[in-house]
Amino acid sequence: MRPGALFLNLCRGFVIDHDALRRHLLSGHLAGAAVDVFRDEPRAAGEEFQSVLRGLPNVILTPHIGGSTEEAQADIGAFVGTKLADFVAEGTTSLSVNLPQVALPPATGTHRLAHIHRNVPGVMAEINSVLAAHDVNVEAQLLGTRGDLGYALTDIGIDYPEAVVGRLREMSPTVRLRVLS
């Protein structure tokens, strides 16, 4: 590295020689370093962290497990809680790992049908045929698929006959149907 360079290691602790890095920092060849991964990470809370880089004034050492701080855990909890609330209230599955990612903006004055189904051809045509047969107009609709599952959000702007819900639930590809208002 060029004289005066700053060294960063944010990937894996074993890719650098920490003793050599210390020598180059002490000699002034490197201006500084920031490291968040180490060959030997502390195994448990309270275990003293050992590194030949500790105590050097031109070095920043941080834990790679930054997601385990109290602040990060609080942020993660709030984030997950918001995603769950969005799913319950709006059917939104943004950043889901189990369902197709679908996010239809909420609309006022509509009912939302959240339809999880097996990902086979013709499901959307069948959903729309059921709605059309009962004179239910589609205001907005969005489909996402992932592997064997499909997930359709459909906003309808009128009160719907109960037969619509029954017929959609009876469709052979249907896994689950929720009606959100």
Q: Is 12 labeled as catalytic in the residue annotation?
A: yes
Choosing from 29, 39, 41, 118, the catalytic residue is: 41
Tell me the Cα Rg of the chain: 27
DSSP state of 67: G
In sign, the C-alpha dihedral spanning 113, 154, 173, 93 is negative
Q: Is 18 labeled as catalytic in the residue annotation?
A: no
Choosing from 24, 64, 134, 146, the catalytic residue is: 64
Question: Which DSSP helix (H) or strand (E) runs through 61?
Answer: strand 59-61
Choosing from 12, 23, 29, 39, the catalytic residue is: 12
Question: Which DSSP helix (H) or strand (E) runs through 111?
Answer: strand 111-118
Q: Is 112 labeled as catalytic in the residue annotation?
A: no
Q: Which residues are catalytic?
A: 12, 41, 64
